[in-house]
Structure 1
Amino acid sequence: MQLVVFILVYPLLWLISRLPFKVLYVISDMVYQLLYHVIGYRKKVVRNNLALVFPEKSDDERLHIEKEFFKHLCDIFLEMIKTLGISDKQMKKRYVFDNIEVFKELERNGKNIMIMMPHYASWEWVFSLNSYVQSKAYAIYQTIQNKYFDKLVRDIRSKYGTTLIRTNGSRKIIEDAKKRHELITVGIISDQSPMVIKAKHWATFMDILVPIHVGGEELCKTHDIVPVYLKVKKMSRGHYQGTFKVLTENPKSVENYKISEAFIRETEKSIREAPEYYFWTHKRWKHRGNAPKEFQSKTTTSTS
């Protein structure tokens, strides 16, 4: 059945990837009408998240963010498909890194780099970074249940030379790369909600106490990888700007979990600047109120 679904859907995806951007966004507008107004995909989750995070905003303000988010969600989904057919020239025009020298300087100093980013603005087109740098790129990702679509997503994301690695195999691959004295860049999205039973640290995210992922930080401290936050701004429809911010050049010297908390603080800044570009369909705050006693003093917002 998985193969049948893939065979039926793939030709449509291929056709969409060859369309001009103007036509692509007409389709995105139509998908928005269907997704938001007809299907109501995860509308309740988005609405609850916005009410939880922005209690100071009016209903009308939150509704505006909600609608703009769903429009953006449709855009980034179709932009991911467009990656199949986009040219290098188009990509460099549409996804710009405004301080690429920060990255290149780390490379010249022989530093391995971890790009830490949230589900914000565009995380699919960041793979075009390989067009500018010298290090071997890896990206940690979670598999998709349909193995054929999983392969398609891996093919799309590896278009510019990135090697995708599963979470449970990341440590060995990084260790092997270091043994080969291979200069590496590792990309990781770290804003998901971890399982409570596996949570090692809790911190406030948008003033709400929740468990946070610390796997990226642990890799940085173990293997002396420089953590770099990638701030992405949506400049206009289909145009993004990425800015690198080094969180620390000496991860081993930083107190445990401070790198992860620094990542959260940077993510918060992005969200507050333009909340409509955050991925609100995630149940990111579902574990609020379940923190162990030693962390509860960090709470700054009601968990009701």
Structure 2
Amino acid sequence: MTRRGRDADCPDQGRGSVGTVLKLISRLPLPVLYMLAWLVYALSYHVFRFRKRLTCSNLRDAFPQMGQREVRVIAKRCYRQFADVLVETVKSMTIQESEIRRRVRIANPEVLEGLRGAVAGQAVLFLAAHQCNWEWLLLASRLVCPFPVDAVYKPARNPMIDRLLVERRARFGGSLIPVDRFIAEVMRRHDGPRGLALVADQTPRVEEDKYWTRFMGLDTAFYVGPQKIAAMKKAPVYFVAMRRLQRGYYEVSFERLAVPPYSMEDHDVVEVYVRAVERQVRAAPHDWLWMYKKWKYRKPLYA
């Protein structure tokens, strides 16, 4: 039998070996992992220049008043912070609950305490952005929320990577629901109050419904899913903001954005969410994911 044939017959062997290596790496202390992060930053920014042109272009479009030097400074910080997030994400595979609680501080826990009276079937919609470390944000939120938190996610094309993502993100309770089944699953569940978590600042696909608005001074498309879910579940909506205090330490705050009733035809929920994301990005632009293709197509004339 050829090597290719043996590999095809044992797909789980490769998945297991990669997962084992990542778990071993995750057991390294964070100071050691941050040394690896510097290497990731140097390779991605200076050597391979991964999406560097796109990142700088996005920054120039969003901050036209900035000079080239300021743009480069923010771009470098963005890549350094992203490298930190990568190693912190690997650390998530084995990080202890006590360490997450120590490193991610909740600024206003009384907001969540006020949700303890939610009744069976009640949903609470939590919206976040790709700001700081959204992976630790999910883990920390599940530890302090008085009921389970289900999160929407886009399955990875590689089954091995997808399985690792699901295992890591579901460590402290709740479940992950693929984006294409999220609304159906949300409407089916009536087993008790639940939190529904979405990181909704990505760009919709061309064929998907979109809401166009001004974001960072530019015409920008956003998902309409948050509006639909909030309206169908009659759910109060909270923005979950994250702020970097220092390397490896964050502060999370909860801000109520909207309460029912809503209309399926309006976009008020999405609009207040966009404004909250913009405030957060302008306050700390280096902590947002500028290497995304957020403005990859233009607004249609009659959108």
TM-score after normalising by structure 2: 0.91
8 Å CA contact 2:209, 2:223 repeated in 1: yes
Q: CA deviation at 1:3?
A: 5.0
Q: CA deviation at 1:50?
A: 0.8
Matched AA of 2:117:
R
Q: In the TM superposition, what are the counterparts of 1:202-281 in structure 2 within 5 Å? A: 202-252=212-262, 256-281=266-291
Q: CA deviation at 1:257?
A: 0.4
| Aligned counterparts of 2:206 and 2:42: Cα–Cα separation in 1 | 36
* 2:200 corresponds to 1:190: yes
8 Å CA contact 1:234, 1:240 repeated in 2: yes
| Aligned counterparts of 2:43 and 2:263: Cα–Cα separation in 1 | 51
Aligned partner of 2:176 among 164, 188, 191:
164
Report the 3-state secondary structure (helix = DSSP H, G, I; strand = E; otherwise coil) of the residue aligned with 1:107. Answer: coil
CA distance 1:8–1:247, shift in 2 (3 Å): same
* 2:133 corresponds to 1:122: yes
8 Å CA contact 1:224, 1:251 repeated in 2: yes
| CA displacement, residues 202-253 of structure 1 (integer Å, 9 cap, x when unaligned) | 1111111122111012101111111110010011101111100011122426
CA distance 1:4–1:39, shift in 2 (3 Å): farther
Q: Please name the residue that 2:93 is paired with.
A: 84
| Aligned counterparts of 2:118 and 2:301: Cα–Cα separation in 1 | 41
8 Å CA contact 1:199, 1:213 repeated in 2: yes
| Aligned counterparts of 2:63 and 2:102: Cα–Cα separation in 1 | 34
8 Å CA contact 2:118, 2:193 repeated in 1: no
Report the 3-state secondary structure (helix = DSSP H, G, I; strand = E; otherwise coil) of the residue aligned with 1:228. Answer: strand
| Aligned counterparts of 1:165 and 1:256: Cα–Cα separation in 2 | 25
| Aligned counterparts of 2:164 and 2:208: Cα–Cα separation in 1 | 30
Q: In the TM superposition, what are the counterparts of 1:16-55 in structure 2 within 5 Å? A: 16-55=25-64
8 Å CA contact 1:217, 1:227 repeated in 2: no
Q: CA deviation at 1:48?
A: 1.2
Matched AA of 2:123:
N
8 Å CA contact 1:177, 1:184 repeated in 2: no
| Aligned counterparts of 2:68 and 2:15: Cα–Cα separation in 1 | 40
Q: Please name the residue that 2:65 is paired with.
A: 56
Q: CA deviation at 1:197?
A: 3.5
Q: In the TM superposition, what are the counterparts of 1:170-185 in structure 2 within 5 Å? A: 170-178=182-190, 180=191, 182-185=192-195
Q: CA deviation at 1:281?
A: 1.2
Aligned partner of 2:150 among 138, 145, 151:
138
Matched AA of 1:220:
A
8 Å CA contact 1:209, 1:291 repeated in 2: no
Q: CA deviation at 1:7?
A: 4.6
The gaps in structure 1 that reach 5 residues or longer are: 296-304
The gaps in structure 2 that reach 5 residues or longer are: 1-6
| Aligned counterparts of 2:226 and 2:36: Cα–Cα separation in 1 | 37
CA distance 1:66–1:4, shift in 2 (3 Å): farther
Q: CA deviation at 1:193?
A: 0.8
Report the 3-state secondary structure (helix = DSSP H, G, I; strand = E; otherwise coil) of the residue aligned with 2:223. Answer: coil
**Sequence identity, in percent?**
26
Q: Please name the residue that 1:302 is paired with.
A: none
Q: CA deviation at 1:196?
A: 3.4
8 Å CA contact 1:113, 1:184 repeated in 2: yes
The 4+ residue runs of structure 1 with deviation greater than 6 A are none
Matched AA of 1:170:
F
8 Å CA contact 2:257, 2:269 repeated in 1: yes
Matched AA of 1:53:
A
| Aligned counterparts of 1:196 and 1:14: Cα–Cα separation in 2 | 37
Q: CA deviation at 1:10?
A: 2.9
Deviates more, 1:248-257 or 1:60-69: 248-257
| Aligned counterparts of 1:14 and 1:187: Cα–Cα separation in 2 | 26
- Number of matched pairs: 291
